[in-house]
Structure 1
Amino acid sequence: MIFSTQAIKKTFKTGEVSEEVLKGIDLSLAEGEITALVGASGSGKSTLLTIAAGLQSPSSGEIHFNGQDLSAMSQEEIREIRAGSFGFVFQAAHLVPFLTAEEQLLLMLETAKSALSKKQRREEATKILDSVGMGHRKNAYPASMSGGEKQRIAIARAIVHQPKLLFADEPTASLDSIKSHEVMKLLQSLTKTLNISTLIVTHDEDMLTYADRIISMKDGRLA
Protein backbone atom coordinates (compact mmCIF):
# COMPACT_ATOMS: atom_id res chain seq x y z
CA MET A 1 0.00 0.00 0.00
CA ILE A 2 1.36 3.39 -1.00
CA PHE A 3 -0.67 5.25 1.64
CA SER A 4 -2.18 4.43 5.02
CA THR A 5 -3.52 6.04 8.16
CA GLN A 6 -3.41 4.50 11.62
CA ALA A 7 -5.78 5.39 14.47
CA ILE A 8 -6.52 8.86 13.08
CA LYS A 9 -8.60 11.00 15.42
CA LYS A 10 -9.77 14.58 14.97
CA THR A 11 -11.38 16.72 17.63
CA PHE A 12 -12.74 20.22 17.05
CA LYS A 13 -13.15 22.59 19.99
CA THR A 14 -15.58 25.49 20.18
CA GLY A 15 -15.17 27.27 23.47
CA GLU A 16 -15.79 24.70 26.20
CA VAL A 17 -17.34 22.19 23.80
CA SER A 18 -15.29 19.44 22.11
CA GLU A 19 -16.55 17.28 19.25
CA GLU A 20 -14.66 14.18 18.13
CA VAL A 21 -15.27 14.02 14.38
CA LEU A 22 -12.91 11.12 13.58
CA LYS A 23 -12.66 8.26 16.08
CA GLY A 24 -9.64 6.17 15.17
CA ILE A 25 -9.49 5.64 11.40
CA ASP A 26 -7.34 2.98 9.74
CA LEU A 27 -7.36 3.46 5.98
CA SER A 28 -5.11 2.14 3.23
CA LEU A 29 -4.91 3.08 -0.45
CA ALA A 30 -3.41 1.04 -3.28
CA GLU A 31 -1.94 2.18 -6.58
CA GLY A 32 -4.19 1.99 -9.62
CA GLU A 33 -7.38 1.99 -7.54
CA ILE A 34 -10.25 4.37 -6.91
CA THR A 35 -11.47 4.28 -3.31
CA ALA A 36 -14.80 5.99 -2.65
CA LEU A 37 -15.78 7.34 0.76
CA VAL A 38 -19.52 7.53 1.31
CA GLY A 39 -21.71 8.43 4.25
CA ALA A 40 -24.27 10.89 5.54
CA SER A 41 -23.45 14.55 5.92
CA GLY A 42 -21.42 14.97 9.11
CA SER A 43 -20.06 11.42 9.06
CA GLY A 44 -16.48 12.73 8.82
CA LYS A 45 -15.60 11.72 5.26
CA SER A 46 -14.50 15.17 4.04
CA THR A 47 -12.52 15.71 7.24
CA LEU A 48 -10.76 12.39 6.67
CA LEU A 49 -9.97 13.31 3.06
CA THR A 50 -8.48 16.70 3.99
CA ILE A 51 -6.37 15.10 6.74
CA ALA A 52 -5.18 12.36 4.39
CA ALA A 53 -4.28 15.05 1.85
CA GLY A 54 -2.26 17.01 4.39
CA LEU A 55 -4.59 20.01 4.29
CA GLN A 56 -5.19 19.81 8.03
CA SER A 57 -3.55 17.92 10.88
CA PRO A 58 -5.11 15.08 12.89
CA SER A 59 -5.46 15.39 16.66
CA SER A 60 -3.66 12.05 16.95
CA GLY A 61 -2.65 9.07 14.85
CA GLU A 62 -0.18 8.41 12.04
CA ILE A 63 -0.18 9.02 8.28
CA HIS A 64 2.22 7.05 6.10
CA PHE A 65 2.98 7.81 2.46
CA ASN A 66 5.55 6.03 0.33
CA GLY A 67 7.42 4.77 3.39
CA GLN A 68 7.44 8.17 5.13
CA ASP A 69 5.63 9.16 8.33
CA LEU A 70 3.91 12.44 7.45
CA SER A 71 2.63 12.87 11.00
CA ALA A 72 6.24 13.27 12.20
CA MET A 73 7.09 15.96 9.62
CA SER A 74 7.01 19.75 9.79
CA GLN A 75 4.34 21.70 7.93
CA GLU A 76 6.95 22.84 5.41
CA GLU A 77 7.99 19.24 4.68
CA ILE A 78 4.36 18.23 4.27
CA ARG A 79 3.75 21.14 1.88
CA GLU A 80 6.64 19.99 -0.30
CA ILE A 81 5.29 16.44 -0.47
CA ARG A 82 1.79 17.73 -1.14
CA ALA A 83 2.98 19.96 -3.98
CA GLY A 84 5.07 17.26 -5.63
CA SER A 85 3.15 14.04 -5.01
CA PHE A 86 -0.52 14.89 -4.39
CA GLY A 87 -3.21 16.11 -6.78
CA PHE A 88 -6.52 17.73 -5.81
CA VAL A 89 -9.94 18.02 -7.47
CA PHE A 90 -12.78 19.74 -5.66
CA GLN A 91 -16.48 20.37 -6.21
CA ALA A 92 -15.66 23.72 -7.81
CA ALA A 93 -12.86 23.85 -10.37
CA HIS A 94 -11.13 26.84 -8.67
CA LEU A 95 -9.38 27.84 -11.89
CA VAL A 96 -7.42 31.10 -11.95
CA PRO A 97 -9.71 33.40 -13.99
CA PHE A 98 -6.94 35.28 -15.81
CA LEU A 99 -4.97 32.18 -16.91
CA THR A 100 -5.63 30.08 -20.01
CA ALA A 101 -6.10 26.31 -19.72
CA GLU A 102 -2.46 25.78 -20.67
CA GLU A 103 -1.26 28.38 -18.19
CA GLN A 104 -3.23 26.70 -15.37
CA LEU A 105 -1.14 23.55 -15.92
CA LEU A 106 2.14 25.43 -16.30
CA LEU A 107 1.49 27.15 -12.97
CA MET A 108 0.96 23.73 -11.36
CA LEU A 109 4.27 22.48 -12.76
CA GLU A 110 6.00 25.56 -11.37
CA THR A 111 4.39 25.04 -7.95
CA ALA A 112 5.47 21.40 -7.97
CA LYS A 113 9.04 22.51 -8.80
CA SER A 114 9.13 20.34 -11.90
CA ALA A 115 12.61 19.52 -13.21
CA LEU A 116 11.34 19.86 -16.79
CA SER A 117 12.62 22.66 -19.01
CA LYS A 118 10.23 25.41 -20.13
CA LYS A 119 9.79 23.69 -23.50
CA GLN A 120 9.20 20.30 -21.86
CA ARG A 121 6.63 21.82 -19.51
CA ARG A 122 4.63 23.15 -22.45
CA GLU A 123 4.85 19.78 -24.17
CA GLU A 124 3.67 18.03 -21.01
CA ALA A 125 0.79 20.49 -20.58
CA THR A 126 -0.29 19.89 -24.18
CA LYS A 127 -0.12 16.11 -23.71
CA ILE A 128 -2.21 16.18 -20.53
CA LEU A 129 -4.79 18.53 -22.03
CA ASP A 130 -5.10 16.17 -24.99
CA SER A 131 -5.52 13.22 -22.62
CA VAL A 132 -8.57 14.84 -20.97
CA GLY A 133 -10.04 15.91 -24.30
CA MET A 134 -9.26 19.60 -23.88
CA GLY A 135 -6.31 20.12 -26.20
CA HIS A 136 -8.44 22.27 -28.50
CA ARG A 137 -9.18 24.62 -25.57
CA LYS A 138 -5.64 25.19 -24.34
CA ASN A 139 -5.81 28.94 -25.08
CA ALA A 140 -9.29 29.38 -23.58
CA TYR A 141 -10.00 31.25 -20.35
CA PRO A 142 -12.33 29.87 -17.64
CA ALA A 143 -15.05 32.42 -18.37
CA SER A 144 -15.59 30.86 -21.80
CA MET A 145 -15.76 27.26 -20.52
CA SER A 146 -18.73 25.11 -19.52
CA GLY A 147 -18.86 23.48 -16.09
CA GLY A 148 -17.74 20.15 -17.53
CA GLU A 149 -14.83 21.76 -19.38
CA LYS A 150 -13.68 23.57 -16.24
CA GLN A 151 -13.69 20.32 -14.27
CA ARG A 152 -11.68 18.57 -17.01
CA ILE A 153 -9.11 21.36 -16.83
CA ALA A 154 -9.08 21.03 -13.03
CA ILE A 155 -8.38 17.31 -13.40
CA ALA A 156 -5.63 17.98 -15.95
CA ARG A 157 -4.07 20.48 -13.55
CA ALA A 158 -4.26 17.93 -10.73
CA ILE A 159 -2.32 15.26 -12.66
CA VAL A 160 0.09 17.26 -14.85
CA HIS A 161 2.91 16.88 -12.29
CA GLN A 162 2.34 13.08 -12.19
CA PRO A 163 1.20 12.75 -8.56
CA LYS A 164 1.12 9.46 -6.69
CA LEU A 165 -2.17 10.29 -4.95
CA LEU A 166 -5.27 12.08 -6.24
CA PHE A 167 -7.83 13.43 -3.79
CA ALA A 168 -11.28 14.36 -5.10
CA ASP A 169 -13.94 15.93 -2.86
CA GLU A 170 -17.38 15.75 -4.52
CA PRO A 171 -15.87 16.26 -8.02
CA THR A 172 -19.24 15.85 -9.78
CA ALA A 173 -21.54 17.68 -7.36
CA SER A 174 -21.87 20.77 -9.57
CA LEU A 175 -22.40 18.82 -12.82
CA ASP A 176 -25.42 17.26 -14.50
CA SER A 177 -25.63 13.47 -14.79
CA ILE A 178 -24.10 13.26 -18.27
CA LYS A 179 -21.11 15.44 -17.38
CA SER A 180 -20.75 13.59 -14.05
CA HIS A 181 -20.35 10.26 -15.82
CA GLU A 182 -17.87 11.81 -18.26
CA VAL A 183 -15.75 13.15 -15.40
CA MET A 184 -15.84 9.85 -13.49
CA LYS A 185 -14.93 7.85 -16.59
CA LEU A 186 -12.00 10.22 -17.05
CA LEU A 187 -10.86 9.83 -13.43
CA GLN A 188 -11.17 6.05 -13.73
CA SER A 189 -9.12 5.99 -16.94
CA LEU A 190 -6.40 8.25 -15.54
CA THR A 191 -6.19 6.26 -12.30
CA LYS A 192 -5.51 3.07 -14.25
CA THR A 193 -3.34 4.57 -16.99
CA LEU A 194 -1.10 6.55 -14.63
CA ASN A 195 -1.24 3.91 -11.85
CA ILE A 196 -2.13 6.50 -9.23
CA SER A 197 -4.23 6.06 -6.10
CA THR A 198 -7.46 8.05 -6.10
CA LEU A 199 -9.57 8.81 -3.02
CA ILE A 200 -13.02 10.25 -3.75
CA VAL A 201 -15.71 11.61 -1.44
CA THR A 202 -19.14 11.48 -3.06
CA HIS A 203 -22.84 11.56 -2.21
CA ASP A 204 -23.85 10.36 -5.68
CA GLU A 205 -24.52 6.62 -5.65
CA ASP A 206 -24.44 6.50 -9.47
CA MET A 207 -20.75 7.42 -9.33
CA LEU A 208 -19.88 4.42 -7.16
CA THR A 209 -19.86 2.11 -10.18
CA TYR A 210 -16.46 3.62 -11.08
CA ALA A 211 -14.88 2.78 -7.72
CA ASP A 212 -12.71 -0.26 -7.04
CA ARG A 213 -13.50 -0.03 -3.32
CA ILE A 214 -16.36 1.61 -1.46
CA ILE A 215 -15.89 2.54 2.20
CA SER A 216 -18.84 3.74 4.26
CA MET A 217 -18.42 6.16 7.15
CA LYS A 218 -20.81 6.69 10.03
CA ASP A 219 -20.34 8.91 13.07
CA GLY A 220 -16.59 9.28 12.57
CA ARG A 221 -15.85 5.61 12.05
CA LEU A 222 -15.44 3.31 9.06
CA ALA A 223 -18.67 1.31 8.91
Structure 2
Amino acid sequence: MTIFTISELRKTFTTGEVAEEILKGIDLTLQQGEITALVGASGSGKSTLLTIAAGLQPASDGKILFNGRNMTDMSQEQIRKIRASDFGFVFQSAHLVPFLTVEEQLTLMLEVSETKLKKEQQKMEIAEILKLIGMEHRKSAYPASLSGGERQRVAIARAIIHKPKILFADEPTASLDSKRSKDVMELIRNLTKTMNITTLMVTHDEEMLSYADHIITMKDGLAE
Protein backbone atom coordinates (compact mmCIF):
# COMPACT_ATOMS: atom_id res chain seq x y z
CA MET A 1 0.00 0.00 0.00
CA THR A 2 1.30 3.46 -0.94
CA ILE A 3 1.75 5.59 2.17
CA PHE A 4 4.02 8.40 0.96
CA THR A 5 4.21 10.16 -2.40
CA ILE A 6 6.54 12.92 -3.60
CA SER A 7 5.71 14.74 -6.84
CA GLU A 8 7.87 17.22 -8.79
CA LEU A 9 9.87 18.09 -5.67
CA ARG A 10 12.36 20.91 -6.11
CA LYS A 11 14.82 22.60 -3.77
CA THR A 12 16.86 25.71 -4.54
CA PHE A 13 19.50 27.22 -2.27
CA THR A 14 20.44 30.86 -2.78
CA THR A 15 23.77 32.32 -1.71
CA GLY A 16 23.95 36.03 -2.38
CA GLU A 17 22.86 36.40 -6.01
CA VAL A 18 23.68 32.79 -6.91
CA ALA A 19 20.83 30.25 -6.95
CA GLU A 20 21.60 26.53 -7.13
CA GLU A 21 18.86 23.97 -7.75
CA ILE A 22 19.71 20.91 -5.62
CA LEU A 23 16.58 18.88 -6.40
CA LYS A 24 15.19 19.16 -9.92
CA GLY A 25 11.73 17.65 -9.93
CA ILE A 26 11.84 14.42 -7.91
CA ASP A 27 9.05 11.84 -8.04
CA LEU A 28 9.06 9.14 -5.37
CA THR A 29 6.56 6.63 -3.99
CA LEU A 30 7.04 4.67 -0.75
CA GLN A 31 5.20 1.46 0.03
CA GLN A 32 4.21 0.22 3.48
CA GLY A 33 6.49 -2.49 4.89
CA GLU A 34 9.31 -1.82 2.42
CA ILE A 35 12.79 -0.29 2.48
CA THR A 36 13.72 2.26 -0.17
CA ALA A 37 17.40 3.17 -0.40
CA LEU A 38 18.71 6.46 -1.79
CA VAL A 39 22.24 6.24 -3.18
CA GLY A 40 24.48 8.61 -5.07
CA ALA A 41 27.66 10.63 -4.91
CA SER A 42 28.20 13.37 -2.34
CA GLY A 43 26.21 16.43 -3.41
CA SER A 44 23.72 14.43 -5.47
CA GLY A 45 20.82 15.61 -3.30
CA LYS A 46 19.96 12.39 -1.44
CA SER A 47 20.25 13.78 2.11
CA THR A 48 18.40 16.95 1.07
CA LEU A 49 15.59 14.80 -0.31
CA LEU A 50 15.41 12.79 2.91
CA THR A 51 15.28 15.84 5.19
CA ILE A 52 12.58 17.50 3.09
CA ALA A 53 10.53 14.29 3.04
CA ALA A 54 10.86 14.11 6.82
CA GLY A 55 9.60 17.67 7.26
CA LEU A 56 12.94 18.93 8.59
CA GLN A 57 13.24 21.61 5.92
CA PRO A 58 10.80 23.01 3.33
CA ALA A 59 10.79 22.32 -0.38
CA SER A 60 10.97 25.14 -2.91
CA ASP A 61 8.24 23.54 -5.00
CA GLY A 62 6.36 20.27 -5.41
CA LYS A 63 4.01 18.16 -3.35
CA ILE A 64 4.47 15.67 -0.48
CA LEU A 65 1.52 13.43 0.37
CA PHE A 66 1.58 11.43 3.60
CA ASN A 67 -1.43 9.17 4.15
CA GLY A 68 -3.30 11.27 1.60
CA ARG A 69 -2.54 14.56 3.39
CA ASN A 70 -0.57 17.29 1.65
CA MET A 71 2.34 18.18 3.94
CA THR A 72 3.36 21.10 1.75
CA ASP A 73 0.14 22.89 2.76
CA MET A 74 0.59 22.26 6.49
CA SER A 75 1.72 24.67 9.18
CA GLN A 76 4.99 24.07 11.03
CA GLU A 77 3.01 22.94 14.09
CA GLN A 78 1.06 20.38 12.05
CA ILE A 79 4.31 19.03 10.60
CA ARG A 80 5.88 18.92 14.07
CA LYS A 81 3.02 16.77 15.32
CA ILE A 82 3.41 14.37 12.40
CA ARG A 83 7.15 14.10 13.07
CA ALA A 84 6.49 13.37 16.73
CA SER A 85 3.76 10.78 16.23
CA ASP A 86 4.25 9.19 12.79
CA PHE A 87 7.94 9.57 11.90
CA GLY A 88 11.05 7.97 13.37
CA PHE A 89 14.65 9.07 12.78
CA VAL A 90 18.00 7.27 12.80
CA PHE A 91 21.23 9.07 11.95
CA GLN A 92 24.88 8.19 11.43
CA SER A 93 25.57 8.82 15.12
CA ALA A 94 23.28 7.43 17.81
CA HIS A 95 22.93 10.80 19.62
CA LEU A 96 21.94 9.10 22.88
CA VAL A 97 21.55 11.23 26.01
CA PRO A 98 24.72 10.40 28.00
CA PHE A 99 23.14 10.57 31.47
CA LEU A 100 20.12 8.36 30.66
CA THR A 101 20.06 4.57 30.76
CA VAL A 102 18.85 2.55 27.77
CA GLU A 103 15.43 2.18 29.40
CA GLU A 104 15.27 5.90 30.19
CA GLN A 105 16.15 6.82 26.57
CA LEU A 106 13.08 4.92 25.39
CA THR A 107 10.84 6.28 28.16
CA LEU A 108 11.77 9.82 27.14
CA MET A 109 10.88 9.10 23.52
CA LEU A 110 7.47 7.75 24.48
CA GLU A 111 6.79 10.91 26.45
CA VAL A 112 7.88 13.41 23.78
CA SER A 113 5.99 11.52 21.07
CA GLU A 114 2.77 12.07 23.02
CA THR A 115 1.70 8.40 23.01
CA LYS A 116 -0.14 9.05 26.31
CA LEU A 117 0.64 5.57 27.60
CA LYS A 118 0.42 4.89 31.32
CA LYS A 119 3.63 3.98 33.15
CA GLU A 120 2.89 0.25 33.15
CA GLN A 121 2.09 0.32 29.44
CA GLN A 122 5.33 2.19 28.80
CA LYS A 123 7.31 -0.49 30.64
CA MET A 124 5.62 -3.21 28.60
CA GLU A 125 6.34 -1.46 25.30
CA ILE A 126 9.97 -0.89 26.29
CA ALA A 127 10.43 -4.50 27.39
CA GLU A 128 9.00 -5.67 24.06
CA ILE A 129 11.23 -3.48 21.90
CA LEU A 130 14.35 -4.32 23.93
CA LYS A 131 13.62 -7.99 23.38
CA LEU A 132 13.21 -7.38 19.64
CA ILE A 133 16.64 -5.75 19.40
CA GLY A 134 18.30 -8.21 21.78
CA MET A 135 19.15 -5.58 24.40
CA GLU A 136 16.90 -6.50 27.33
CA HIS A 137 19.96 -7.41 29.43
CA ARG A 138 21.37 -3.89 28.89
CA LYS A 139 18.34 -1.83 29.89
CA SER A 140 20.13 -0.26 32.88
CA ALA A 141 23.33 0.53 30.95
CA TYR A 142 24.47 4.04 30.10
CA PRO A 143 25.65 4.93 26.56
CA ALA A 144 29.32 5.14 27.58
CA SER A 145 29.32 1.43 28.43
CA LEU A 146 27.75 0.34 25.11
CA SER A 147 29.56 -0.64 21.93
CA GLY A 148 28.97 1.31 18.73
CA GLY A 149 26.64 -1.36 17.45
CA GLU A 150 24.71 -1.46 20.71
CA ARG A 151 24.30 2.32 20.72
CA GLN A 152 22.92 2.24 17.19
CA ARG A 153 20.51 -0.55 18.15
CA VAL A 154 19.23 1.62 20.99
CA ALA A 155 18.92 4.56 18.58
CA ILE A 156 16.81 2.39 16.27
CA ALA A 157 14.66 1.23 19.19
CA ARG A 158 14.18 4.85 20.22
CA ALA A 159 13.14 5.72 16.66
CA ILE A 160 10.41 3.07 16.52
CA ILE A 161 9.26 2.73 20.16
CA HIS A 162 6.24 4.97 19.44
CA LYS A 163 5.30 2.80 16.40
CA PRO A 164 5.85 5.36 13.64
CA LYS A 165 4.54 4.79 10.14
CA ILE A 166 7.78 5.92 8.47
CA LEU A 167 11.42 5.48 9.52
CA PHE A 168 13.93 7.92 8.03
CA ALA A 169 17.51 6.61 8.24
CA ASP A 170 20.41 8.83 7.16
CA GLU A 171 23.61 6.77 6.78
CA PRO A 172 22.67 4.51 9.73
CA THR A 173 25.75 2.27 9.31
CA ALA A 174 28.38 4.85 8.32
CA SER A 175 30.12 4.84 11.72
CA LEU A 176 30.14 1.04 12.10
CA ASP A 177 32.43 -1.74 10.93
CA SER A 178 31.25 -4.30 8.37
CA LYS A 179 29.87 -6.86 10.84
CA ARG A 180 28.01 -4.31 12.96
CA SER A 181 26.69 -2.64 9.79
CA LYS A 182 25.16 -5.92 8.68
CA ASP A 183 23.70 -6.51 12.15
CA VAL A 184 22.09 -3.07 12.15
CA MET A 185 20.68 -3.52 8.64
CA GLU A 186 19.30 -6.94 9.57
CA LEU A 187 17.56 -5.25 12.49
CA ILE A 188 16.15 -2.42 10.34
CA ARG A 189 14.89 -4.90 7.75
CA ASN A 190 13.32 -7.19 10.35
CA LEU A 191 11.60 -4.29 12.12
CA THR A 192 10.39 -2.84 8.81
CA LYS A 193 8.74 -6.14 7.97
CA THR A 194 7.43 -7.23 11.39
CA MET A 195 6.09 -3.78 12.33
CA ASN A 196 4.98 -2.92 8.76
CA ILE A 197 6.99 0.30 8.80
CA THR A 198 7.98 2.22 5.67
CA THR A 199 11.73 2.92 5.66
CA LEU A 200 13.52 5.56 3.58
CA MET A 201 17.29 5.22 3.91
CA VAL A 202 20.27 7.16 2.61
CA THR A 203 23.45 5.10 2.27
CA HIS A 204 26.78 5.23 0.46
CA ASP A 205 27.61 1.60 1.31
CA GLU A 206 26.75 -0.63 -1.65
CA GLU A 207 26.82 -3.72 0.58
CA MET A 208 23.77 -2.39 2.42
CA LEU A 209 21.69 -2.20 -0.78
CA SER A 210 20.94 -5.93 -0.61
CA TYR A 211 18.63 -5.17 2.33
CA ALA A 212 16.50 -2.72 0.32
CA ASP A 213 13.33 -3.51 -1.60
CA HIS A 214 13.87 -0.52 -3.91
CA ILE A 215 17.02 1.39 -4.88
CA ILE A 216 16.90 4.94 -6.21
CA THR A 217 20.09 6.49 -7.57
CA MET A 218 20.45 10.25 -7.15
CA LYS A 219 22.56 12.16 -9.67
CA ASP A 220 22.76 15.91 -10.14
CA GLY A 221 19.49 16.48 -8.32
CA LEU A 222 17.56 13.88 -10.29
CA ALA A 223 16.32 10.40 -9.31
CA GLU A 224 17.06 7.47 -11.59
**TM-score tier after normalising by the smaller chain length:** over 0.9
Q: CA deviation at 1:35?
A: 0.4
> Could you tell me which residue of structure 2 aligns to residue 198 of structure 1?
199
> Could you tell me which residue of structure 2 aligns to residue 61 of structure 1?
62
Aligned equivalents of 1:58 and 1:129: distance in 2?
36
RMSD of the TM alignment (CA)? 0.6
State percent identity of aligned pairs: 68
> Could you tell me which residue of structure 2 aligns to residue 128 of structure 1?
129
> Could you tell me which residue of structure 1 aligns to residue 25 of structure 2?
24
Amino acid at match of 1:132: I
Paired residue secondary structure (2:175): coil
Matches within 5 A, 1:68-107: 68-107=69-108
Paired residue secondary structure (2:22): strand
Amino acid at match of 1:136: H
Aligned equivalents of 1:16 and 1:220: distance in 2?
20
> Could you tell me which residue of structure 2 aligns to residue 143 of structure 1?
144
Gapped regions of structure 1 (runs ≥ 5): none
Q: CA deviation at 1:115?
A: 2.5
Aligned equivalents of 2:192 and 2:54: distance in 1?
17
Aligned equivalents of 1:126 and 1:48: distance in 2?
34
Count of residue pairs brought into register by the alignment: 223
Aligned equivalents of 1:53 and 1:129: distance in 2?
25
| 2:154 aligned with 1:153 | yes
Paired residue secondary structure (1:128): helix
Aligned equivalents of 1:103 and 1:56: distance in 2?
29
Q: CA deviation at 1:3?
A: 0.3
> Could you tell me which residue of structure 1 aligns to residue 49 of structure 2?
48
TM-score if structure 2 supplies the norm length?
A: 0.98
Q: CA deviation at 1:123?
A: 1.3
Aligned equivalents of 1:15 and 1:133: distance in 2?
51
Aligned equivalents of 1:29 and 1:200: distance in 2?
11
Q: CA deviation at 1:130?
A: 1.1
Aligned equivalents of 2:46 and 2:135: distance in 1?
31
Gapped regions of structure 2 (runs ≥ 5): none
Deviates most, 184-193 or 115-124: 115-124
User: Which runs of 4 or more aligned residues in structure 1 lie more than 2 Å from their structure 2 counterparts after TM superposition?
Assistant: none
